[in-house]
Structure 1
Amino acid sequence: MKRLNLRNAVTRWHVIGVPVIIFIGVLMHFAFSFLGKPLFLAPFFPVNESVWEHLKMAFWPALLWWVIGYWALRGKASPSGRLWFTAAFFAVITPLWLIITFYYFYTSAFGIESAFIDAAIYILAVATGQAAGLWLYRRLPERRVLFFAGVFLLIALAAAFIWFTFDPPEVALFYDFRHRLYGIR
């Protein structure tokens, strides 16, 4: 019975997470400018219109959702921490990969840019990330090496988002073509 309750609680958490993550990400898109561009928030909110900066809209809310989820379900359903944070890595990396792949595919293949298509990609990517994380949580073996690799890579990604906000590499992924700048410069 406890296994069934855990399965239901975890599934419910991730289904609810899709619209929550999307909503928080959309708010983040506008929040940095709306709040007066405070420097201490720059690592967590998109600071320009580059693809990299828009990845923050998927990364930070999904990471936060998984961390909160572990603590919220811990008392009720006792999720495995090793499995949870291994799956969290995949739930967070999947939307980033999908956003980059689909954005560059459609803009390069068709020579267009569309806010509607970008929004659809974002929604699809977040939903797919949550589904991938849930699927892997249920099927991955509980291995220390996977846990440590997942946590290390999540920390590395978080550090990259912070670092590259202020000192981005000068490549297209980090370039805001509308304002002709990199990062928060």
Structure 2
Amino acid sequence: MSINLKRDEKFILLGIPFIFLLSVPLHFAYDFSGKLPIVGIFTPVNESIFEHLKLSFYPMLLWWFISFLILSKKQKISVPKWFNACVFSLISAPIIITALYYINTGAFGLHSLALDIFSLFFAVLIGQIIGLHIYKHKDANIYDLYTAISIIFVIILLFTFFTFCPPNYPIFISK
């Protein structure tokens, strides 16, 4: 059985190793920057679960955006479909990371860096597959595009706000 993917669809899956590998230096970028607040917007500023969600979100957003710029020069890409798929990918990965963390620690009492790294990889993998599925199978219109862009901006605003004003809930507390 062979999987027949178009160039744009292959780009979505090619993002998996790029996104995962980009998350490694991002994990340490805030400390390496001398704790610059602008860097903290895009990278974890502490060891909380919430801050680590940035390790999937921003590399995925970057990959989807750069891929769009590259692909749109060479072929016709449906902008609404692309960014609609992007949003599904961006939302699913942090949900998966959070769920796996609380299943591992809460249900099984497991605290492991290896499990955390695997969770990130698994979330990126599943997120990109979900994005690919949405891109291939869901039509999107201009309203979907506006909704997708709005959701992306709201998530960025929430990441920024909660980085500097974290509420006192376990997901925001540094381990």
> TM-score normalised to the size of structure 1?
0.89
Asked whether the 8 Å contact 1:44–1:56 carries over to 2, the reply is: yes
Q: 2:37 aligns with which of 39, 43, 61?
A: 39
Distance 2:78 2:9 in 1: 14
Query: Is the Cα contact below 8 Å between 1:91 and 1:133 reproduced in 2?
Result: yes
Is there any run of 5+ residues in structure 1 with no aligned partner, and where?
Answer: 178-185
The aligned residue for residue 25 of structure 1 is 23
Which residue is 1:80 aligned to? 78
Q: Which amino acid aligns with 1:126?
A: V
Matched pairs, number: 172
Identity level (%): 34
Deviation, 1:166, is: 0.4
2:6 maps to 8
Aligned residue identity for 1:61:
P
Q: Distance in 2 between matches of 1:110 and 1:142?
A: 40
Shift of 1:25: 0.8
CA positional deviation for 1:133: 0.5
Letter in 2 for 1:123: F
Runs of 4+, deviation exceeding 3 Å: none
RMSD: 1.3
Distance 2:68 2:130 in 1: 17
- Answer yes or no: is the 8 Å Cα contact 2:29–2:39 preserved in 1: no
Output the amino acid matched with 2:68: Y
Post-superposition shift, 1:40? 1.6
Q: Is 2:162 the partner of 1:136?
A: no
- The answer (yes or no) to whether the contact 2:33–2:39 under 8 Å persists in 1 is no
Equivalent residues in 2 for 1:54-69, closer than 5 Å: 54-69=52-67
The normalised TM-score by structure 2 is 0.94
Is the Cα contact below 8 Å between 1:9 and 1:77 reproduced in 2?
Answer: no
